[in-house]
């Protein structure tokens, strides 16, 4: 789906921002991209859909070399949600905004309308409102709605939940998780380790432009030293599990920890009786 082969990249007049990155993301994976501020996460994502071209190495997106294909063509199958939703929103009603994104993807007018209504309903948005007067969280939802409307097979999310309250956060992540279940491949940047723990299956850890970790979220989450190098703290439950040690070390969610703890207690009580 997405493949980086020994990729180097540096912005004009700067030393290398990304150094020797190699990894491959397969179809249907949900990958979290972690790293400190300025690690190069957003830059990596821009390379993934061809907005930036590698200075050395190769990026294959959907099997195509990004150096040889136009980004606007790749964009038909790669959805990209930017850190700043305002750059994307350019129409003066929510409906027009979603339709604008669809114009390029769907030729049929009626199909476009139907798809647009579907998205409005999915996100519980009102089509008539002017996006510019809406809150940041709502604008984020509109931007995401117009990206998802085109049903991309690879979805890249640059901090989709930063600055949102818990409910809006869960609303967005719920939709993303649904898409993932239907087979969409997802690459998501996030600083929120709880969300990463809850939703992602695999994590890439970037630090100062280099890939320092790549593996299942369960394993990465337990590696406090690795996360520390990228200025991150593991999610609370795995951290607690790791501190408790013994049988709890494997606990990853509240439910798992609880069942381990209660299970143990239950056993003890039975033994005493």
Contact residues for Mg ion (CB under 5 A)? 42
Min dist CB 33 to Mg ion, Å, is: 10
**Contact status: 80 vs another protein (CB under 8 A):** yes
Give the contact letters, 10-29, x = binds to ligand ATP (CB under 6 A), - = no: -x--x--x------------
Output the CA–CA distances (angstroms, integers) from residue 207 to 35, 51, 58, 84, 211, in the order listed: 6, 21, 20, 22, 6
Cβ proximity to another protein: between 90 and 233 the closer is: 90
CB-CB neighbours of 133 under 10 Å: 9
Tell me the torsion sign for CA atoms 212, 216, 217, 222: negative
Give the contact letters, 234-253, x = binds to ligand ATP (CB under 6 A), - = no: --------------------
Min dist CB 83 to ligand ATP, Å, is: 6
Bridge partners of 214?
A: 204
Exactly one of 5, 8, 28, 51 binds another protein (CB under 8 A); which one? 51
Give the footprint of ligand ATP on residues 28-67 (CB under 6 A).
35, 37-43
What is d(CA 136, CA 163) in angstroms, rounded to the nearest whole number? 8
Min dist CB 41 to Mg ion, Å, is: 5
Cβ proximity to ligand ATP: between 189 and 251 the closer is: 189
User: Which residues make up the interface to ligand ATP (CB under 6 A)?
Assistant: 11, 14, 17, 35, 37-43
User: Which residues make up the interface to another protein (CB under 8 A)?
Assistant: 11-14, 46, 49, 51, 70-72, 75-76, 78-80, 82, 84, 86-92, 101, 104-105, 132, 146-147, 150
């Amino acid at each position: 789906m997405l493949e980086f082969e020994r990729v180097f990249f540096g912005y004009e007049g700067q030393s290398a921002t990304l150094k020797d990155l190699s990894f491959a993301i397969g179809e249907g994976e949900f990958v979290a991209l972690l790293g400190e501020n300025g690690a190069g996460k957003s830059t990596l994502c821009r390379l993934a859909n061809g907005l930036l071209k590698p200075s050395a190495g190769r990026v294959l997106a959907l099997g195509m070399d990004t150096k040889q294909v136009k980004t606007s063509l790749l964009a038909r199958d790669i959805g990209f949600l930017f850190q700043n939703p305002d750059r994307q929103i350019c129409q003066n009603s929510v409906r027009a905004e979603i339709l604008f994104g669809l114009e390029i993807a769907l030729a049929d007018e009626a199909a476009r309308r139907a798809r647009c209504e579907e998205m409005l309903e999915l996100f519980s948005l009102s089509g008539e409102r002017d996006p510019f007067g809406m809150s940041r969280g709502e604008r984020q939802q509109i931007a995401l709605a117009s990206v998802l409307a085109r049903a991309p097979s690879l979805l890249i999310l640059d901090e989709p939940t930063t600055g949102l309250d818990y409910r809006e956060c869960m609303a967005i992540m719920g939709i993303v998780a649904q898409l993932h279940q239907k087979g969409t491949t997802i690459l998501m940047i996030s600083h929120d380790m709880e969300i990463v723990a809850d939703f992602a299956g695999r994590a890439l850890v970037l630090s100062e432009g280099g890939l320092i970790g790549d593996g299942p979220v369960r394993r990465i989450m337990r590696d406090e030293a690795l996360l520390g190098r990228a200025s991150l703290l593991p999610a609370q439950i795995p951290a607690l599990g790791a501190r408790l040690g013994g049988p709890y070390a494997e606990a990853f969610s509240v439910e798992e920890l609880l069942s381990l703890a209660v299970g143990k207690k239950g056993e003890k009580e039975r033994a005493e009786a």
